[in-house]
Structure formats: structure tokens, C-alpha cells
């Protein structure tokens, strides 16, 4: 019996697998028929077919809405990522431009100092002349104060040293600020298209670098503007598609609705597939493709396997029942044998008791006879 029970459990698990596969195949068959130009519509299947088609259309709409939201979300993500990349490129190009401006500014300063700076550039950046005058004036003041310190008495030397230190700090401040000053005058010269008026041999390459960098920078900045416009547009689309809900909440709502709708479509497809399979010749008047026929053949094969497994279950259950009955018979036979053994024992005891009874009765009879004889002797 244990063997049959174990075998039955194995076969029942196989039947569960076959039933699950059958449901999958029937659902696939229903959906494949739904896609046919000419559907299978038999008695009792018209309403089911139309309902399946309607619910499938709702599922497709739900999938399309989810996909649309995901695409918008991905577009936003891609745009933000691209903006970060473009900003890095813009930053790098601006830094390179700053270096070019600084080099131009240094050349302008050197040419102005050497009194070879072109008139056009002098007019473009008059600050160069003003700055040089300030630097020259500070240097002259510093030199003059230094001479006075050396020539003055001890009493006047201390205030003169303080004055010298103040002028030195101002001069150092001008020197430290020259980098930004060079960048500014270099930028002014470049934007005024005056790089070519420099006498330096580096003017040609600096002009080429400036034009290349500004052109590329313009491309990056234009792309940034397009990306920001794209983000704004996608946000509008997202608000329109998601409504007042957040993107995450709307996607969650749609995913839940999709799961419910998909289960309904699956159930209707199984019903429709089952109904079609109940027809004697479902493909008699329509043209079907190989995939559908393979699915249909698999269903028939699983049906045969299911019948065989159910028959095997029935046979095993009969064998199990026979085994149980044999076991009961064996138990009853053991009980009968035991009872017979008890009967034999009790029969021997009964015979012994009966012999004892007979012996006691004979003894009673003998005692009665003795009593009668004794009474007769007394009377005589």
C-alpha cells in the first residue's frame, strides 16, 4: 500500500505539471487564433471571442501607456546624463579659452611694454596703458621710498619703512592680479578679432585655437539649450500622461492594472482555446500558420498524456484498494485463527468442568445412598 501511495503521489505531481502546461498552451492557442485574419467562431464562441478581443485591446493599451511613460522617463534620464557630459565639455573648453586669453593678454602686455603694440589693439584695450602707468608709478614710489630709508636718520627710518612696505604690498597685489587682468584684455582682443594684429609669432596659432574653441563651445552651448528644451517638453508630456500622480506611483498603478488585466485575458484565452479544441474540425474552413498547428498538436499530445496518467492513477488506486482489502482479509483471518485457538482452549476447559460436575454429582449420589442405608439400619 505504501508503494502504491508513493506512486500515486508521483503521478499526481505529473498530472499537475501537465494541467499547468495545458493551461499555458490553451492560452497561447486562444491568443494565436485571436491574431488570425479570420477567427474561429463556432456556436457559443462568438461572445467569448469578442470579449477576449476587447480585453486584449485594453491590455495592449495598458502596455502602451506603461511603455510610453518608461520612454519619457528614459529620455529625461538620458537628457540629464547628456547635460552633465556637455557641461563638462563646456567647462573644459572655457578653461582652454581662458588659457588662450591669458596668453594673448601676456603678449599684449609685453608688446605694450616694448612700445610695439598696434594702435588698433591700444584702442581696443586702453586699460593696458593705464595699468602700466600704475605699475610704473608704484615702482617709482617704491624705489624713491627705498632710497629715503637708506638716507634717513633712525628716527625717520621706521615710518619710511612702513610706507615702503605698504607700497610693496600694493605692487604685489597688482602683480598677483595680473593673471585675471591678462585674461580680460586677452578676451577683449580676441572678441574684437584683433589677435592677428599682434606681432608675436604665436598670434596665428592663438587665433586658430580661439576660433576652434569658440566654435566648439557654441556647438556645446547650443546642444545644452536643445537638451533643456527637450527636458521641459518631456516633463510636460509626463505631467500629461501621469496626471497629478508621481511617475513612480502612476507606473505602479498601471503595473497593477496590467497584472489584473493580463490574468483576465489569460483566463478568457484559456476558455476560448478550450472551446475551439472541443470542435471536431476547427481548421476546416480557415487558413492557419504552422505555429498555431504546433500549439494545437501539443495540446492534443498533452490531452493523451493526461488520459494515460489518469488511467494510471485509477489503476494504482484499484491496486491500492485491493491491497487494503487483502490486508483486511489477512487481519480477519488472523482474528479467526486467534478465536479458534481460544475456542479450543475454552472447549477443553468446558470438558474438564463438565467432568468435574459429573464427578461431584456421582459423589452426591453416593453420599445419598450412604445416608439412606444408615437410616434403614436405625429403623431396624
Domain boundary among 249, 278, 307: 278
Count how many domains the chain has.
Answer: 2
Mean pLDDT for back-to-back runs of 10 residues, the chain (380 residues) = 77 90 92 82 77 92 87 83 89 91 86 84 79 57 56 55 57 60 87 89 90 90 86 73 67 88 93 86 77 90 91 86 87 92 90 91 89 76
pLDDT of residue 113: 78
CA distance 337 to 62: 76
**Do 45 and 180 have their domain in common?**
yes
**Do 272 and 242 have their domain in common?**
yes
In a domain, 304, yes or no: yes
pLDDT of residue 78: 87
In a domain, 31, yes or no: no
Q: What is the dihedral of CA 50, 53, 55, 60, to 10 degrees?
A: -160
pLDDT of residue 246: 67
**Do 216 and 329 have their domain in common?**
no
**Do 71 and 4 have their domain in common?**
no
In a domain, 366, yes or no: yes
pLDDT of residue 1: 57
**Do 224 and 305 have their domain in common?**
no
- Would you say the C-alpha torsion 288, 290, 296, 301 has a positive or negative sign? positive
**Do 314 and 355 have their domain in common?**
yes
In a domain, 286, yes or no: no
CA distance 367 to 213: 153
In a domain, 142, yes or no: yes
CA distance 231 to 244: 18
**Do 53 and 202 have their domain in common?**
yes
Tell me which residue range forms the domain holding 184: 41-278
**Do 149 and 48 have their domain in common?**
yes
pTM summary value = 0.56
**Do 248 and 378 have their domain in common?**
no
**Do 152 and 102 have their domain in common?**
yes
pLDDT of residue 162: 64
Amino acid at each position: 500500500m505504501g508503494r502504491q501511495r508513493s506512486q500515486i503521489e508521483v503521478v499526481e505531481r505529473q498530472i499537475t505539471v501537465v494541467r499547468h502546461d495545458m493551461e499555458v498552451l490553451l492560452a497561447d492557442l486562444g491568443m494565436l487564433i485571436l491574431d488570425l485574419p479570420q477567427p474561429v467562431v463556432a456556436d457559443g464562441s462568438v461572445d467569448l471571442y469578442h470579449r477576449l478581443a476587447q480585453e486584449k485591446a485594453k491590455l495592449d493599451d495598458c502596455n502602451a501607456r506603461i511603455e510610453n511613460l518608461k520612454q519619457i522617463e528614459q529620455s529625461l534620464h538620458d537628457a540629464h546624463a547628456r547635460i552633465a557630459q556637455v557641461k563638462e565639455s563646456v567647462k573644459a573648453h572655457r578653461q582652454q579659452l581662458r588659457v588662450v586669453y591669458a596668453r594673448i593678454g601676456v603678449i599684449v602686455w609685453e608688446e605694450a611694454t616694448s612700445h610695439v603694440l598696434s594702435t588698433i589693439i591700444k584702442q581696443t584695450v586702453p586699460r593696458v596703458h593705464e595699468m602700466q602707468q600704475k605699475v610704473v608709478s608704484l615702482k617709482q614710489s617704491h624705489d624713491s621710498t627705498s632710497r629715503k630709508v637708506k638716507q634717513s636718520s633712525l628716527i625717520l627710518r621706521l615710518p619710511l619703512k612702513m610706507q615702503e612696505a605698504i607700497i610693496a604690498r600694493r605692487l604685489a597685489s597688482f602683480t598677483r592680479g595680473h593673471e585675471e587682468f591678462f585674461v580680460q584684455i586677452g578676451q577683449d582682443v580676441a572678441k574684437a578679432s584683433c589677435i592677428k594684429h599682434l606681432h608675436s609669432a604665436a598670434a596665428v596659432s592663438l587665433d586658430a585655437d580661439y576660433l576652434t574653441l569658440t566654435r566648439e563651445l557654441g556647438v556645446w552651448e547650443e546642444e545644452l539649450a536643445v537638451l533643456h528644451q527637450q527636458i521641459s517638453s518631456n516633463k510636460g508630456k509626463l505631467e500629461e500622461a501621469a496626471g497629478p500622480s508621481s511617475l513612480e506611483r502612476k507606473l505602479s498603478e498601471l503595473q497593477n492594472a496590467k497584472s489584473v488585466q493580463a490574468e483576465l485575458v489569460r483566463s478568457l484565452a484559456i476558455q476560448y482555446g478550450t472551446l475551439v479544441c472541443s470542435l471536431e474540425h476547427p481548421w476546416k474552413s480557415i487558413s492557419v500558420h504552422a505555429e498555431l498547428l504546433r500549439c494545437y498538436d501539443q495540446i492534443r499530445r498533452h490531452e493523451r498524456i493526461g488520459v494515460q496518467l489518469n488511467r494510471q492513477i485509477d489503476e494504482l488506486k484499484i491496486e491500492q484498494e485491493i491491497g487494503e482489502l487483502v490486508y483486511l482479509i489477512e487481519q480477519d483471518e488472523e482474528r479467526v485463527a486467534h478465536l479458534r485457538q481460544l475456542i479450543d482452549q475454552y472447549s477443553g476447559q468446558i470438558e474438564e468442568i463438565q467432568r468435574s460436575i459429573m464427578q461431584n454429582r456421582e459423589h452426591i449420589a453416593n453420599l445419598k445412598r450412604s445416608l439412606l442405608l444408615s437410616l434403614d439400619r436405625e429403623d431396624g
